Amino acid sequence: MNATEAALALAVLSAAPLLYAALGELLHEKLGMFNAGIEGVMLMGGVIGYMVAVDSANILLGFAVAAIAAAAFNLLVYAFPVLVMRSSQILVSFALWFIGAGLSAQLGLNYVSRPLPESIGNTSIPLLSRLPFLGNIFFRQPWPVYVAVALTLVVAFVLKRTSHGLSMRAIGEDPASAHASGIPVRAWQTFYTGIGGALMGIGGATLTLVVTGTWTSQITAGRGFVAFALVIFAGWRASGLIWGSFLFGLLLVLGPVGQAHGWSIPSSILGMAPYIFTVAVLTFRTWLELRRSGRTLAPAALGLVFVRGQR
Amino acid sequence: MSNPEHHPAGAAPTPLGGSEPALEMRGIVKRFGDYTALDRVDFELAQGEVHALLGENGAGKTTLMNVATGIIDADAGTIAVGGREARIRSPRDATRLGIGMVHQHFRLVRNFTVAENVHLGLGGVGRLVSRRELERRTAEWSERFGFDVDPSARVAELSVGQLQRVAIMRALVRGANILVLDEPTAVLTPQAASQLFSIIRGMVAEGRTVVFISHKLDEVIEIADRISVLRGGARIATLPKEECTTVSLARLMVGHEMKEVRPRPREHQGDPLLVAQGLRTGEADRRGALKDVDVAVLGGEILGVAGVSGNGQAELAQVLTGMLKPAAGTVRVGDRELGGAGARAFGKAGVGHVPEDLRIGLSLEQTIEMNAVMKVVEQPPVRRGPFLVRSAIRPYARELLERGGLAALEVTRRAGTLSGGQAQRLVIQRELRAGNRALVAVHPSRGLDVAATQAVHEALLDARSHGAGVLLVSEDLDELFELSDRIAVMYEGRIAATLERAAFDREQVGLLMGGGGR
């Protein structure tokens, strides 16, 4: 594996936490809710997964508990205020972020210097891993990378090709009409906040258990916001998340790679790349789409509160 | 004709078709707070009939059907479907029992295709759907009833008539045996309406039952087998259509109790102060769009505007106050042409506006005095240079309140603390003072109690006797008959007729409101 291949393989690995988190966010937004507190849920998943993996010496158990804990956290701190108490999705998102950041730092205090008892090795995909160039980049990765891509494809399929996916999209487009069609709007919103939270938590756990193999407070370093932008970048299409996450992953590794190769651009500048790109996406993506097709790709009722009997 | 008011509830004549009624509602009561929307209503729907529910706004037609389709719960009463007692707590329950409703708002997802909308919410979690399959099935339904819509079209791009047919198709696909259509023709062009009628006949030919909610007399007689008339939340009569004429239905719909119309001489035979010609608004097939309206309000008169809501009255009032720019036509205030001008120019030209919604008329967070001077803040003495003159505001406000009989009010209170009647009187006084030529008042006494209504009426008559021209939009015929010098009746965006006070006749107005007469 040459240096370019190694850098690109690292980019793909770094994409996995983003992909999980963005997939979780997509499940929120397709059902009309936006959750800008991804960062907090990722941190909770990251720290709890790490703690469980260290204490039980079982990484898989770490992932499982991280998923459940993050789902519970997201349901309690996000879904309950938003769906039951009708609180502002913006304010609750910030609460989610702050609580997740503070709580995870506190929980993980004693785990900062404790190493993982084992690490996940790479799994080579038969045949495909022998492809020149691509094999080394895409098909010799730890299994959570493959699972992220597979889950994204499953979500894409469900959204696009099943009647349930049609119902999900209808909730995000027009909850009142969905309700009038007999779709239990709030029940599905609650369900997918749980699933979405679990995915964000798995994203955080992938970061701590696979990508870095360590826990420090605020380890996500803004990846939750990058994932938020990724959903917009992908035009709310699940399949678009996959290559979008690779692109953001590439930007994420620019800093370390540049440093390792002694590029003349300061690595602190390179390190800003994903965040600058995030800002650019948030600023221009919708504008570009409006100019191109005359409408936005966002679910029409995104962020609107649905109260039964009102329109 | 014997008095149809006292048909015993159970004696609804000539049920058609099968032995068990398709739907039977008994003693339905629905209250909203103190207001009784439905008062022990009995309603029976025979299998395979088209049954029209006729009544004015607020008669309870839609409320009754909302109970039948589980959108709201009744406070009392029982429902039986096909002879069996049924509990209908949600639209899902209704769907399961084969009852579907097509609302005035069609409740379609704009960004979805026709096929997606028709099949939305059907089937289990795991069912696969291919776009092509959905479109093929939709095309079958479309052909069977002559719906004439492209299954792959995005709903946002359809005409109103097509939207309605998609909504009907959606109900049919869900297995609706009883289909409730809420004011289905209110939004339709005549062509689309006749297409709808042939669809209804097709559905009935298949043995389905249709409830047709309407206030239009002609079409009710055209399409229905039986007609139930509601008034004030009670069922007044159920008649087979052979026994109905537009005149008899209008009488039932509007009611008998006639208040005597006192003759009243005009105090001023004024010049036209507010004149509009050839007004048109919006797309021609939109509900309430004006279609070639001429109107002239004379000084010293109250011109009443009657009509079932949504027939263009709101648009007319908006155009005459500069809130809405007409697509065509001219508006003159005195001798000034104000066609495309905004609300501010109309205000300056002396047109006052008492809007339908008090939240538009008042800034509820501001003090009463600031609200009182709102229309004159750009004029001395309230304005001096770029500054507001506090010392001028208060006396102005006090004077206004005094005229409105509100002298006891503290002017520094928030306007949001006023009662509805006080707020309305404040707005009327302000608009009269600022707009001394003409006053456009939309439902000025709606929701007010008797005393407050009286005060509002006095204020309007006062404006009239001071030579202003008053345009009064109201759905309350008693109010219009009492106050107006002339009444213009609007129907489908046109003024169907204008009656002089001497010719006021409740039956005639009721007919005109329902599209009959003339």
A8 inside domain: yes
Residue A302 domain flag: no
Where residue A204 falls among pLDDT bands split at 50, 70, 90? very high
Please confirm whether the linkage preceding B381 is cis (ω < 30° from 0).
yes
CA neighbor of B225 nearest in space, from B235, B208, B186, B233: B208
Nearest to B128 among A161, A170, A311 (CB): A161
The answer to whether residue A230 sits within a structural domain is yes
List A residues 150-169 in contact with B (Cβ-Cβ < 8 A): 161-164, 166-167, 169
Residue of B nearest to A297 (CA): B111
What's the whole-number mean pLDDT along residues B294-308?
Answer: 90
ipTM exceeds 0.85, yes or no: no
Q: pLDDT higher for B237 or A260?
A: B237
Question: Is residue A121 assigned to a domain?
Answer: yes
Which tens digits make up the pLDDT trace of B128-139? 777 888 899 899
pLDDT tens digits for range A12-69: 999 999 999 999 999 999 999 999 999 999 999 999 999 999 999 999 999 999 999 9
Q: Say if pTM beats, i.e. exceeds, 0.80.
A: no
What is the residue-averaged pLDDT of chain A? 92
Tell me what pLDDT residue B258 has. 45
Most confident of A202-206, B373-377, B389-393, B468-472: A202-206
Nearest chain B residue (CA) to A181? B121
Nearest to B122 among A163, A179, A300 (CB): A163
Q: Is residue A100 part of a domain?
A: yes
Query: How confident is residue B13, by pLDDT bands cut at 50, 70 and 90?
Result: very low
CA angle, B367 as apex, B364 and B372 as ends, to 5°? 90
By CB atoms closer than 10 A (0-12, 13-18, 19+), residue A66 is buried
Q: Between residues B56 and A149, which one has the greater pLDDT?
A: A149
Number of domains, chain A: 1
- How does strand B351-354 pair with strand B438-442? parallel
* CB contact burial A211-242 (16+ within 10 A = b; e otherwise): bbebbebebbeebbbbbbbbbbbbbbebbbbb
Which residue spans of chain B are classified as CATH 3.40.50.300? 1-98+215-256, 272-362+436-513
Name the residue among B361, B345, B364, B343 with its Cα closest to residue B444. B361
Q: Which residues of chain B are within 8 Å of residue A180 when distances are taken between CB atoms?
A: 91, 103, 107
Interface touch B129/A177, C-beta < 8 Å:
no
Query: pLDDT value at position B5?
Result: 40
Helix (H, G, I), strand (E, B) or coil at B87: coil
Structural domain B1-98+215-256, CATH architecture: 3-Layer(aba) Sandwich (3.40)
Domain containing residue A48: 3-293
Confirm whether A305 is domain-assigned. Answer: no
Residue pLDDT, tens place only, B83-127: 899 999 888 889 899 999 998 778 899 889 999 999 888 765 457
| Residue A47 · residue A185 · CB < 8 Å | no
For B272-362+436-513, CATH number out of 3.40.50.300, 3.40.50.620, 3.50.50.60, 3.40.50.720 equals 3.40.50.300
The mean pLDDT of B154-165, rounded to a whole number, is 85
User: Which CATH number characterizes residue A253's domain?
Assistant: 1.10.3470
